[in-house]
Amino acid sequence: MTVHVVVPTFRESGLVGPFLQSWDDVSSVDLRLHVVNGNPGDETSTLLAEWQGRHPLTEHRGHPDLFWTGLVALGLREVSRVAGEGDFFLLTNIDVRPLGDPLESILTKVSSPSQHQVAIPVTVGEGKVTSSAVVVRSWALSLNRHLGEGQEIGELPFEACLEATYLPTRFLLVPVKALSEGHFPDEGNLPHYCADYEYTNRLRRVGYTPVLFTGAHAALVEENTGFDTFLAKTSIWSRLAKAWDIKCPYNLRYRYRFVRLVYPAAAFLPGLCTHFAKIFLEIAFGGRKLRRLRKH
């Protein structure tokens, strides 16, 4: 069995070496790293050539117009071509670092991993969870619960498999056979944010239960994150200016597409209204103020 690690990157050469090095401790399975370069021929290509031989490593040549979804789709097409029937693929980001050997924990302690899609918590700082899994409490009201978000990693249940509605792809393990059953979305449809949740939602619909496994975790390099409405010093003008930015998580165009692709048909219209109402509140007041209000 081989785990095919698919990671997109675009002009992030400073992150490539540490990312590759972080896989040195993963020895429980055969690895094949698929780095999908959105700017081939640059310093990243040079660096990847220097790393050849340390891990089974392939550079896939994309182009800047593909954005996140297109680069990942390119890598997954290659995985579907070369992978064996019992293999797995792992979607991750160039700014995520596995800690220890999370694959050993997942594959030995998650019941029937070939029937699931499995994410692990991703942490920042001294171990605070920033990315985990989403449980939809109400589609119509767009009420979600992000499992463990903001908690210390040690506060999560030990080695639990927590069922979710959908998962982020910062560290997501899926059986390769799912590629023929839950096709990745069209590259032009969701160019950056939202595509991960849409994809894992498709996989859920065809029978791959999303679970968050708390027996392992990975770390996030914080300086590479995109614009965030929860940052302390954002102004209303900066939040408005980012509303159409390709790397902004509340980009209005792609949030509409997200609701259209992910929400059940019966909840589409009310979900669209409540989803966008929350976005406009965040733009108007800033996420930190809203968080404080929710605590009172």
Residues of the chain with CATH 3.90.550.10: 2-224
Residue type, 122: V
> What pLDDT score does 231 carry?
47
Comparing C-alpha atoms, which of 81, 26, 19 is closest to residue 224?
Answer: 19
Burial classification of residue 291, based on how many CB atoms lie within 10 Å of its CB (0-12 exposed, 13-18 middle, 19 or more buried): exposed
Q: Is the pLDDT of residue 125 over 90?
A: no
**251 band by pLDDT with thresholds 50, 70 and 90:** confident
d(CA 77, CA 191): 17
As given in the structure block, the two tokens for residue 109 are 């302690």
**227 band by pLDDT with thresholds 50, 70 and 90:** very low
Query: pTM of the prediction?
Result: 0.90
Return the higher-pLDDT residue of 199 and 110. Answer: 110
Give how far Cα 244 sits from Cα of 104, 125, 198, 213, 288, Å: 41, 29, 20, 34, 21
> What pLDDT score does 240 carry?
82
Other C-beta atoms closer than 10 Å to the C-beta of 212 total 24
Secondary-structure class of domain 2-224 per CATH: alpha beta
